[in-house]
Amino acid sequence: MTAQTATDLSLEQRKQFQRDGYIIIPRLFENSEVDTIRDAFMEANAKGPVPGLSEINPNFRENDPLAFYPRMMHPHRHPEMNIGPLAMSTMLDPRIGAVLADLFEEEPAAVQSMFYFKPPGARGQDLHQDNYYLRVKPGTCIAAWTAVDAADPENGGLVVVPGSSSCEVMCPEKSDSTLFFTSDHVPIPEGLHEQPLSMNAGDVLFFNGSLIHGSYPNESHDRFRRAFICHYVPAASAELSHWYTNPTTFDGRVIDIPGATGGGPCGVATEAKGPH
């Protein structure tokens, strides 16, 4: 199969995104591009977590695989590192921008980049909704989740709850720390169900900020489940959480979006620094 050009979303793909809250674009990135991303981030983490970039959690146990391989937050903000320009160019790749422009039906802006290593034995991320953290108004955010390795249920691939994108953003409950490294859990609404996803390296999953999604532990013996993930909002958004600075359009303009107001779904301002 050849890579799909990002400008030719079919009517069925658009309908699926509206109905289910997500679509997968197969092989949006070529193998050589994925190899470059994987190798650059593995080299950056060769000696373990990088201060100022890796999300170092003092609560990780010594034998926790994520203690050596925590997720990297906002690598595009680090032009002094080899991964900085790579993260920025990938985040603003025009193929992603074209899909987002179709899905938002307006100009998109990038607000976050992340890299997840998820080595064998790593815990997962409990079910959550991204716009709980980004607090975009009006509307919502969209994530572009690029598989850097093949991702499936064995190595902790994503699960989604189709149709939950039509739900309100909910106040999370407490997650199970034996299974998940994040603290928030959003229960599945009655009548909806989890759907595990299988993706090949280079596939990109686009999903709505209200979609309930997460992942379970990597139960494989020797397979990473690496992913490069970015979040985007409409450039004309009226509000965005103050953690997401310097929203950047796909033509490189840094724009201003006012900080989110109000208490959020829990009645207090969300202080989390990013989607979990």
Q: Mind listing the pLDDT tens digit for each residue in 75-103?
A: 999 999 999 999 999 999 999 999 999 99
- Taking residues 210-227, what's their average pLDDT? 98
Position 227, amino acid = A
- Residue 7 CA, chain-centre distance (Å), reads 21
Q: What is the dihedral of CA 88, 143, 53, 68, to 10 degrees?
A: -130
Whether 5 has a pLDDT exceeding 50, the answer reads: no
Domain limits, the chain: 12-249
Which residues lie below 8 Å from residue 113, measured CB to CB, with a gap of 6+? 74, 75, 76, 87, 88, 90, 91, 228, 229, 230
Give the whole-angstrom CA distance, residue 192 versus residue 210.
14
Whether 276 has a pLDDT exceeding 50, the answer reads: no
**260 pLDDT tier (thresholds 50, 70, 90):** very high
Q: Looking at the DSSP assignment, which residues form a beta bridge with residue 195?
A: 160
pLDDT tens profile 112-156: 999 999 999 999 999 999 999 999 999 999 999 999 999 999 999
DSSP 262: S
Report phi then psi at 137, rounded to 5: -140, 145
pLDDT tens profile 12-48: 999 999 999 999 999 999 999 999 999 999 999 999 9
Sheet strands (E) in the chain: 22-25, 72-73, 108-116, 125-128, 142-147, 158-160, 173-174, 184-185, 195-196, 204-208, 213-215, 227-234, 248-249
Q: Which CATH architecture has domain 12-249?
A: Sandwich (2.60)
Give the whole-angstrom CA distance, residue 103 versus residue 98.
9
Whether 163 has a pLDDT exceeding 90, the answer reads: yes
**269 pLDDT tier (thresholds 50, 70, 90):** low
> Of 91, 227, 69, nearest to 157 (Cα)?
227
Q: Which pTM value belongs to this model?
A: 0.94
